[in-house]
Chain A
């Protein structure tokens, strides 16, 4: 088995036993990116010299017995996360050439662990999309079928892991952007409880919904990466004071006696019957192991997408106001400040980003604020309450991560509404700040299907335990695409 098909945990073990060196590991992945990424479009930027230098330093730590769990392990980072000295574009032309002078907290934490920043992964422009097709630079392709999308917006991060271009990666999740691509690529995607992972250095899309999290081959890798990147950060005022997500008790859970709820609204309009079949089969498997799965109703679920498409664009319209060409990024020529800003933004932003800025601007405008933004916040509060109420009776809520499997590139790009409704299963976790995870649970049409678990806020560790048990039971993870 080659190095690049190993999990992070396996690589870490081989590094510690000196079976391989950190430089060998990093070189193996870089070589594979060099030769294979043209097929996948997973990476937007990587710096071989920098990565090798980091690997050499990591090896030094290993040799001196000063290694931590992630020392020497390469990590691919979504390109909306600030990396000092490496171009960070958010897959937008408006940030072309922008090289940040600082690291995001998650990157800083990874570097402190001695992990290697392998490169920056492709995404939908400013994380706005579900297929990575709004990237201003290139399409990303699903390793299971290159004519299909790896999902989005963290499509590059998911494709990189599924195609063995990186052992693990970081994505960001505003409405499902980690979990949906994980589901489409047969990987594990975990969005922590809002506030557990610092957003400092994550280029904001919708601040109250955004959360960074891992995309990995296994739940164990997800827990490992989460442990290395989460924890309180005083540079993020919305950061939770709790310590980092712990992986210590990961394997001590059991499915026996677990009380799961399946909201019937999660089989919404457009659910692929084959996906439904795969989900039912995995729920049956969970029941056989002693878990109970009750069908319940959470009536606000169908309101999620509409609500999300008020709140997220509203915040985005303000968050993206800083891209004016004054301090960074390309600047267009024009007459006077407003003209320069207008032209810079007209030329720098893509269609989807502009559409969302327009929607958000409208939703916040005087006279519409109450009807749209305020109303959406009320629905959000109601939805959150309904989920919290469910958690009084149940340990976790289970559902498909997405109603469909990975679709063909171009299939939905002309149908923005169909694209947006894909997220209805994942949006509630962002609305309520809940932890959510997608794990591979089976196949439909020969493509991976993801099962989603959502927990009450701060139940990350218990949710990871349950996901780990379920992963062992489904035994889907070992199945890899033909690369």
Chain B
């Protein structure tokens, strides 16, 4: 039994977060009453004509730049093609898309993904192109089917990995998708919602004996709605194909669906002869070329991408890889962090608060950082109060919780509660002495060599001061009085 190598080609479709559709001015949104966001153009009424959406094109070029692609096709112009076929969800009888290597907006790029050994691996990108989404077929409650064209014409970006594939297992595929999603969200070009279908992934999976120059027969996997299903689906397919080959079966090129509940794939359709889509350049749209100045301007205005942020956070701020990864996981979260740093927050302390208490509360409530009442100003002020000894870390937790609830500034909350830390040596000394007087047996134990009981005494003192005594001073005074 040979060792098999899995090869995975990734085709990712991302719905762009443009205000309007690809070729008309209808609004782009999710859901809604069927056919309310339509016009003569996206319904393909006779005589209507497409006009390309600049914003969409710019988003694709930005993505192409962020994925290290060359811009504008090998012929230095980008053109739209028509892909001709009949299906009720494509109103024109063709989909406007881009075809071949010569003319997409971006080509020959790469994306780096982290590897388990702490290094990175380069995943080649073959091309990035722009097309339009289809409408949605729906079964009517009254029987029969209807079509909702609200989605028809939504700009759709397709990102295709290199061939032969660089991805060889589900883990890498998941990592690729997660990095890609993060980049798209940082660029603000896609909301990344896999469950709503605004980010869709259709991997091609094949296996071949190790050392073989040719790839095996591939299957295309659909209905993958999460990172987990991408990873599991690919692993399953690779096992299924291996078992089939070991049983002497012949694999068919087919499209398979992923069943999330059963954690297995099922045959959807066998790919017969290649469909003839009669691609040809769309005569309603003119070839597009981009000046080097325009491209450089877009490149210069690209936001800092997650990988660069990760490096900066770990190297400049000395954060752990774990913490840095949590911070960059969402663009909004990273920007929140950076705003706090800009306002004078100490990076490690800010990061700790964000990734523990703050993240926990947000999760519990199911809201995002920007929706909460806590602003970077709140956290910066709180951390300062701890740093200058006004409150203890323990009190700070209570204050943070109150600020989260009310939106009041920490300083104000501290003043109102009288919970400022007691750093007055005289006052603390009296408390320490009182505790020692009340516990002569414990003091005797300590003096007899049982140093462990000191913690009990500290606890008693803190309790007596409602936790407000400065812990450093307590320690110092306790040592002093016990040794006297």
Contacts and interface: CB of A to CB of B under 8 A. Distances in A.
Interface in A133-191: none
Interface in B213-271: none
A197 interface: no
Given A235-B49, A338-B86, A327 B284 contact: no
Interface string B65-101: 0000000000000000010101110011110000000
Most buried by B among A98, A323, A337: A337
A324 interface: yes
A117 to B, nearest CB: 15
A238 B282 CA distance: 11
Contact of B280 (A100, A314, A328, A337): A314
Contacts of A337: 86-88
A82 B49 contact: no
Given A101-B40, A314-B280, A361-B278, A321 B47 contact: no
Nearest to A94: B46
A202 B47 contact: yes
Given A204-B47, A321-B86, A364-B278, A238 B284 contact: yes
Interface residues of B, number: 30
A82 B280 contact: no
A322 B92 contact: yes
A237 B91 contact: no
Contacts of A80: 47
Given A201-B47, A327-B45, 15 more contacts: A90-B46, A200-B49, A203-B46, A204-B47, A206-B283, A235-B51, A236-B49, A237-B50, A238-B284, A238-B285, A314-B280, A321-B93, A327-B91, A337-B87, A366-B276
Contacts of A347: none
Interface residues of A, number: 46
A317 B84 CA distance: 9
Contacts of B188: none
Contacts of A201: 47-48
Interface of A: 80-82, 88, 90, 95, 98, 100-102, 104, 199-204, 206-208, 234-238, 314-315, 317-318, 320-324, 326-328, 337-338, 341, 361, 364-366, 369, 373
B147 A364 contact: no
B477 to A, nearest CB: 80
B94 A203 contact: no
B57 to A, nearest CB: 12
Contacts, number: 105
Given A200-B48, A235-B51, A337-B88, A207 B284 contact: yes
23 contacts: A81-B47, A95-B46, A100-B40, A100-B45, A100-B47, A101-B45, A201-B47, A201-B48, A203-B46, A203-B47, A207-B283, A235-B51, A237-B285, A314-B280, A321-B93, A321-B94, A322-B46, A322-B92, A326-B147, A328-B45, A366-B274, A369-B278, A373-B280
B118 to A, nearest CB: 47
A204 B84 contact: no
The 10 A-B pairs at the shortest CB distance, nearest first, are namely A321-B93, A364-B278, A207-B283, A208-B283, A82-B47, A201-B47, A203-B46, A322-B44, A203-B47, A322-B93
Most buried by B among A199, A338, A364: A364
B43 interface: yes
Contacts of B286: 237-238
B52 interface: yes
Contact of A318 (B40, B45, B51, B93): B93
Contacts of A317: 84, 278
Contacts of A373: 280
A321 B117 CA distance: 54
A327 B43 contact: yes
Contacts of A321: 84, 86, 92-94
A102 B86 contact: no
Contacts of A104: 47
